[in-house]
Amino acid sequence: MTEVARTRVAIVGAGPAGLLLSHLLAASGIESIVVDRRTREEIEGTIRAGILEQGTVDLLVASGASTRVLTDGRRHDGIELWFAGEGHRIDFPALVGRSVWLYPQHEVLRDLVAARLAAGQDLRLGATVERVDGADSARPRVIGTDADGAPFEIEADFVVGADGSRSVVRTAVTEGTRGDLFREYPFAWFGILCEAPPSSEELIYSNSPDGFALISQRSPTVQRMYFQCDPDTDPEALSEAQIWDELRKRVPGTSLVEGPVFQRDVLRFRSFVAPELRRGRVALMGDAAHTVPPTGAKGMNLAIADVVLLHTALTALLLEDDERGIDAYAEVALRRIWKAQHFSWWMTTMLHSTPDAADFDRRRQLGELRSVVESEAGRTYLAEAYTGWPLESRLV
């Protein structure tokens, strides 16, 4: 016998977007069921980026989803763009009156999981979703097997796919077509976590003849750093000495504090937007709807912007039978998504070197970097996009 559960909103994916949506819906009196194929340890242990936009932080705090971000996170008032042997600071508050916060995504997840469990959220982990049926009907259904291998179905008024870049829900929305809205890049990031104090007060994004590097942070004793590598690099193939050599030559003129490397990974990335974000009573958000390269630190923040819109649209639909918001969802969300796509692509192409770059390309890139750092308008655009455009909740 298949267990059939009924709820108002079925959310597939217990990442930051799925959990925050369930949190906001609950505050509006709308119950939901959240399912994810991962266990709690896997969800909370996934290593992801660490920069939150001002608007993301304000929302986490105002909604009661995380107040720890204010005590355990750290405000960053700028970044350093490093090229041609020199650093150039982009001063966020002076340019746009906002900042960003360094607070790793898995900490956001820990806060959200704890908040949802404390509130009695129906959260089904270790459950594999096979498909979503009935997108065009009034009662779409999520079909899968639970942690013990028993089949289940969830019948809902609305289904949200927040199930990441390999989304299963996406098939119900796009009928399996991938579309052609994507870009691949001929490089990846070699990422490390190491035990050391910070090498600099703020993040350093560096363009060098040897390729890109990012010096980021996690805590006073743990640092996160990345350097551009070939997408086929085996993370185990480099010795610690080789890793530090690569990093050092890419941030010439800074003094990197080295320490034991205890975690390493190779991150491939691409830009992608799903050809459709909604069909009938199924919608996509977060990485299920779009992915961006990590250079602009936009991934999770963009997912949160989708959550805000979907929360407004679903409250109007489910509490007032008003369909205008959900009808406008894709169009309104896509405006910000394409701005973020552009910004992430721009930061990526401005800072990385391509394997076939000619001397012309390299000098043009330095010209581009100079036009940003030597112009208040250029620095302001970067600061506006990096700290995040204001979060919109209005759809109509």
Q: Please, what is the minimum distance in Å from the beta carbon of residue 62 to ligand PHB?
A: 24
49 binds ligand PHB (CB under 6 A): yes
Look up 205 and say whether it is catalytic: yes
* Marked catalytic residue, from 298, 311, 329, 352: 298
Cα gap 211→187, rounded to integer Å: 10
Count the site residues for ligand PHB by CB under 6 A: 10
Q: Please, what is the minimum distance in Å from the beta carbon of residue 194 to ligand PHB?
A: 13
Instruction: Output 254 or 295, the one with its CB closest to ligand PHB.
Output: 295
Beta-strand pair 158-161/282-284: parallel
293 binds ligand PHB (CB under 6 A): no
Contacts 24+ apart (CB under 8 A), 339-343: 339/385, 339/389, 340/290, 340/292, 340/296, 340/298, 340/301, 340/302, 340/385, 341/271, 341/273, 341/290, 341/292, 343/296, 343/298, 343/385, 343/386
- 266: helix, strand or coil: strand
206 binds ligand PHB (CB under 6 A): no
- 286: helix, strand or coil: helix
CB-side exposure of 242: number of CA atoms within 13 Å?
A: 8
CB-side exposure of 190: number of CA atoms within 13 Å?
A: 25
Q: Convert residues 155-194 into a mask of x (bound to ligand PHB by CB under 6 A) and - (unbound).
A: ----------------------------------------
Cα gap 83→205, rounded to integer Å: 9
Q: Measuring CA to CA, how many Å separate 265 from each of 171, 215, 228, 229, 363?
A: 29, 15, 12, 11, 31
Query: Interacting stretch for ligand PHB, rule CB under 6 A, among 292-300, 319-327, 352-360, 372-380?
Result: 292-300
Q: Please, what is the minimum distance in Å from the beta carbon of residue 87 to ligand PHB?
A: 16
Residue whose pair of structure tokens reads 């039978």 in the numeric block: 321
Instruction: Output 50 or 259, the one with its CB closest to ligand PHB.
Output: 50
Which of 50, 259, 286, 325 is close enough to bind ligand PHB by CB under 6 A? Answer: 50
User: Which residues neighbour 360 within 8 Å (Cβ) at sequence distance 6 or greater?
Assistant: none
Query: Interacting stretch for ligand PHB, rule CB under 6 A, among 45-53, 55-63, 69-77, 123-131?
Result: 45-53
* Marked catalytic residue, from 293, 294, 329, 352: 294
**Cβ of 133: how many Cβ atoms within 10 Å?**
16
The residue whose Cβ lies closest to ligand PHB is: 216
**Cβ of 26: how many Cβ atoms within 10 Å?**
16
* Marked catalytic residue, from 205, 290, 329, 352: 205
Per CB under 6 A, which of residues 239..278 are in contact with ligand PHB? none
224 binds ligand PHB (CB under 6 A): yes
Cα gap 318→342, rounded to integer Å: 34
User: Which residues neighbour 358 within 8 Å (Cβ) at sequence distance 6 or greater?
Assistant: none
Q: Which helix (H) or strand (E) holds 159?
A: strand 158-161
284 binds ligand PHB (CB under 6 A): no
Which of 266, 277, 289, 297 is close enough to bind ligand PHB by CB under 6 A? Answer: 297
216 binds ligand PHB (CB under 6 A): yes
Q: Please, what is the minimum distance in Å from the beta carbon of residue 158 to ligand PHB?
A: 32
Look up 339 and say whether it is catalytic: no
Query: Interacting stretch for ligand PHB, rule CB under 6 A, among 168-176, 253-261, 289-297, 319-327?
Result: 289-297
Which of 66, 121, 295, 341 is close enough to bind ligand PHB by CB under 6 A? Answer: 295
Residues that bind ligand PHB (CB under 6 A): 49-51, 203, 214, 216, 224, 294-295, 297
Which residues are identified as catalytic?
76, 205, 294, 298, 386
